Amino acid sequence: MVILVDTDTSKENVSRAAKSQGWKVTEIQPEGDGYRITIRNETEIGK
């Protein structure tokens, strides 16, 4: 799943929330004025 956010605070909040729900943050890249966060469900990794 890809999430776009516009601030450093949002980046940290989304990453923390994803991890708390069993998702793994696989990539964070600058995107325009914000960030593109890629997350994967831990149960889907390796399938």
pLDDT tens over the chain, length 47 residues? 999 999 999 999 999 999 999 999 999 999 999 999 999 998 765 55
User: What's the whole-model pTM score?
Assistant: 0.85
Give me the number of domains the chain comprises. 1
Residue 46 belongs to some domain of the structure: no
Which range of residues forms the domain containing residue 20? 2-41
- The tokens describing 47, both together, are 């399938």
Q: Is residue 16 part of a domain?
A: yes
